[in-house]
Structure 1
Amino acid sequence: MNDKFHNFQDKRMKIFSEVVKKYWNKEIKDIHDLNNLAKEIKKRYNFKDEDMPFIQDHIRVAMGLDAKGNANFEDEVYQMKNFKKIGQPIIAKIDGACEYCNDEECKCSDACKYEASIYKRTRGPIIVNNKCLSCGQCVTKCDYGALADKIEFVPLIDFLQDKKTIVYATVAPAIVGQFGENVTIGQLRTALKLIGFQDLIEVALFADILTIKEAFEFNHLVKSEKDFFLTSCCCPVWFNLVKKNYPSLFTHMPPSISPMIASGRILKKLYQDAKVVFIGPCIAKKAEAKETDLQGDIDFVLTFRELKEIFSALNINLSDLPSEDKDQASFGGRVYARTGGVSFSVKTAVNRLEPARLIKLKAKRVDGVKACKQILDELSTEKDIDYNFIEGMGCNGGCVGGPRTNIDVEKATHKVNEFGEDSLIMTPFDNVNVMKILKQLGMDKIEEITENGEGSKILERK
């Protein structure tokens, strides 16, 4: 491999880090500043003059903007300051990189083996967008930086530095352990407050709310031994795989939104004009936040890998910070992060609602796109099945195996289970925060979570 592309995924994060430092310190004001940054990167990483468009595009993507190919910097700073949101597509194709890759080195052809078709061409990969699930595997597989997901932090900086703007961070349950063996959620809360966030809120709290909703929906939809239920919670890769490729099975999905979307909708309902930033392990969540019927619920999406680089760029040492701890979510909500977590949580809720239910919840849990496709193919044959609740997760191991995590799946799963066990709240029904939020949404009884009122509609796709 060409030396300048060695460990390019890490180098890409260093480019992002330089953009963060300079913009945070107000050292990026115009084209001149961007050109100087591009020259610094060219020199540091041994690029050539002809690589300058490639470098400029990676700076654009680090700013949350579209790649432009051979175009020089023009109005990028103006765009970032005035548009204040990241547009589609979330995956940028960078010209020039594929020229250094040969067929033996290319991994793109296998990156989407079970979903979209990506073909190597002389000017870069081609993505069939109507099949793409935005899982992000192609981005992490490419060693040459030909594919990159836009990073959404730099446009957020102006909001964080504006004391009049309230910005909440909602963090995925998989976050535990991602920033150091002994770094606590309370220390992450302190760190996020230091850079301008109002507070850190566990998305597991909203998973608790959605768990109760899906338990009611399971009881409503599964009435016979032949009925089955495909959870719509949590994973956008699973949701879109069913929606795009298995329309006959899509009717077995409830209308519930994901916990991420619920966190944004509810916080914006309770705190008008607040901005909500989701932080997770997943590139697909960037795409979910931009779906037509979900736009505006989440303002920006960051990944664990990006947040790690942000802390480094701003010289924040998490282990040195005091820990501001809060018990916001149940064991069940916190284990949504790993395979089987959704099934476990919904099953406990179903059993609490109807202890004497004749048709028990029998879960089938699958992870990875290949396994998800296999189970959906099996369901499509209409053969007899011995399960009635199917949980699909696009990443191996669940969210803990996402493409933008900082630690391996096994370790992350262990940390998630530990964090769940540390909760003083066992099930969603034991979480007083849930009922408090539902009352603020206008629901006086837990049963109203599935009734056709304004409060319940906030938990469903528009």
Structure 2
Amino acid sequence: CADVCPRDAIIFNERYEAHIDKEKCIECGACAKVCPFSAIANRKRPCVIACKVDAITTKEGEVAAIDYDKCISCGACVTQCPFGAITDISFITDVIDIIQGSENNEKYKVYALIAPSISSQFTYAKLGQVISGIKKLGFNSVVEVALGADMVSYNESLELVEKGVLTSSCCPAFVDYIKKNFPHLEKYVSHNLSPMGTIARYIKKLDPGCKTVFIGPCTAKKAEAQLSKVSEYVDAVITFEELQALFDSKDLDITTLEEEVLDNASYFGRIFARSGGLADAVREGLREHGVTEDKFVFKPIVCDGIEACRMALLKLSRSPEVLGGNFIEGMACAGGCIGGAGCLTQGRKSRSGVDKYGMEANEKTIKGAISALKE
């Protein structure tokens, strides 16, 4: 172990017992890998291991602390903490106040904006029953954020052609990561609002004075909703976990409810929920705009998780040629939105389930979904 240590941090006493000098150790793990007795263990807190942006450190007294100058609010630490010591800020009481303040939607209407990743949630009930349950809570209408995704991909495809190189703006944790670690690359970030902001803006214009509540898997959406360019459109954000808590608070067994239809978006808007879905949608947007390969060659770089995002951004920092592509789809959570920290269950979700949900959409084209909206 002493031979492989790059900082000479391992010393032996007179009894030939090895000791690690913490002042010199850089925790590279080289000694642990070669120890034939497995006497050296790399014991890190689960939250530290989960955080891929090195935002969690241990201070004096072994107290963990979050560096908010680095944190991107992805929620990875929340899901991995075995003690429940880390929680995301909850706006569930704000949502209750919004619903009660509407006076049964007479004073103003309350819209639930449902993320497309709902297809991988509430597996104990049918999606139509979940929609019925949401209305039972006091929401006037339930709208697919996937429709906002249709709008974004349709506009983003043209923005890509105009700029030549673009990074997605849909994942707030990814955008925040760029701002904090690659500020010189902000010029490449799409100017479009996220699907959440886009559909909320549309509803606010359609129904001035209404209230909108985003419900999804993403803890970073709570931070996004506080941004000045978004806060005027989105009144509150809760996760799928918190939606389940609202069902429980009402003793609402959604499996007993009739099914309601949720069909606002296209196949391409719905597959935003999984890694690669956004790139597929932008490709479709280019096709529907009549942008052929002789005019523009689409070269997407799909980044599944923040570590993959970092590698792509490092390459783009050198040049678009080194990147080898012209569009970065950045998803901070592994698997995409279906791997978000606010999901009911953690772990890898099947992309086939998302695609199946997409195939059930009546509208098979982005333009078709947007046209139906205008009607």
Q: TM-score, with normalisation over the residues of structure 2? A: 0.82
The answer to whether the 8 A contact 2:174-2:331 is kept is: yes
Say yes or no: does 1:343 pair with 2:279.
yes
Residue 208 (1) aligns with residue 146 (2): no
4+ residue segments displaced more than 6 Å = none
Point out the structure with max Rg over C-alpha: 2
**Contact 1:108 1:119 (8 Å CA) reproduced:** no
2:212 counterpart SS class: strand
Match of 1:157 among 86, 91, 96: 96
Specify the code of the residue in structure 1 equivalent to 2:66: I
Q: Conserved in 1, the CA contact under 8 Å of 2:147 and 2:264?
A: yes
Indicate conservation of the 8 Å contact 2:53/2:71, yes or no.
Answer: no
Match of 2:318 among 368, 381, 398: 381
> What corresponds to 2:308 in structure 1?
371
SS at match of 2:303: strand
Q: Structure 1 CA distance, aligned partners of 2:234 and 2:61?
A: 37
Note closer, same or farther for the CA distance 1:314–1:127 as it changes in structure 2 (3 Å cut): same
Q: 1:289 aligns with which of 197, 211, 225?
A: 225
Task: Give the distance between the partners of 1:273 and 1:411, measured in 2 at CA.
Answer: 37
What is the alpha-carbon root mean square deviation over aligned residues?
2.1
SS in structure 2 at match of 1:168 = strand
- Counterpart code for 1:158: D
Partner of 1:425: 363
The aligned amino acid for 1:319 is T
Q: 1:121 to 1:200 in 2, by over 3 A?
A: farther
Aligned match of 2:263: 327
Aligned to 2:126: 183
**415-424 or 357-366, which deviates more:** 357-366
Are 1:229 and 1:388, in contact at CA under 8 Å, matched by a contact in 2? yes
1:135 matched to which residue of 2? 74
Amino acid at match of 2:314: D
Distance change (3 Å), C-alpha of 1:385 and 1:151: closer
Q: Partners in 2 of 1:301 and 1:341 — Cα distance?
A: 23
Q: Contact (CA 8 Å) 2:363, 2:369: kept in 1 or not?
A: yes
**Residues 188-230 of structure 1: per-residue CA shift (max 9 Å, x gap):** 22111111000110000111111111011112112xxxxx221
**1:326–1:295 distance in 2 versus 1, CA, 3 Å:** closer
Which whole-Å CA distance do the structure 1 matches of 2:224 and 2:323 have between them? 31
Count, aligned residues: 328
CA distance in 2, matches of 1:389, 1:181: 37
Q: What corresponds to 1:18 in structure 2?
A: none
* Deviation by residue 1:144-172 (Cα, 9 ceiling, x = unmatched): 23221122112322332322232110010
Whole-Å separation in 2 of the counterparts to 1:121 and 1:294: 39
Compare relative contact order (CA 8 Å, sep 6+) and give the higher one, 1 or 2: 2
Change (3 A) 1:107 1:274: same
Superposed counterparts of 1:199-348, under 5 Å: 199-222=141-164, 228-232=165-169, 234-348=170-284
Which whole-Å deviations, capped at 9, do the CAs of 1:362-403 have from their partners, x for residues lacking one?
111011111111111122122534321110100000000111
Whether the 8 Å CA contact 1:261–1:297 is kept in 2: the answer is yes
2:109 is matched with which residue: 141, 157, 166? 166
Instruction: Measure how far apart 1:343 and its partner are.
Output: 0.4
What is the identity, as a one-letter code, of the residue corresponding to 2:88? D
Q: Which amino acid aligns with 1:183?
A: K
Q: Distance in 2 between matches of 1:384 and 1:255?
A: 24
Retained in 2: the 8 A contact 1:208–1:330? yes
Distance 1:348 1:338 in 2: 16
TM-score normalised per structure 1: 0.67
* Counterpart secondary structure, 1:378: helix
Q: Within 1, Cα distance between the matches of 2:265 and 2:147?
A: 5
Q: Distance in 2 between matches of 1:192 and 1:108?
A: 33
Where do 5+ consecutive residues of structure 1 fail to align?
1-102, 223-227, 438-462
Aligned to 1:92: none
- Looking at structure 2, the residues matched to 408 and 335 of structure 1 have their Cα atoms a distance apart, in angstroms, of 19
Letter in 1 for 2:46: K
TM-fit CA distance, 1:121:
4.5
Partner of 1:293, secondary structure, is: helix
CA change 1:399–1:120 in 2 (3 A) is farther
Output the CA distance in 1 between the equivalents of 2:126 and 2:349.
Answer: 14
- Name the amino acid aligned to 2:324: D
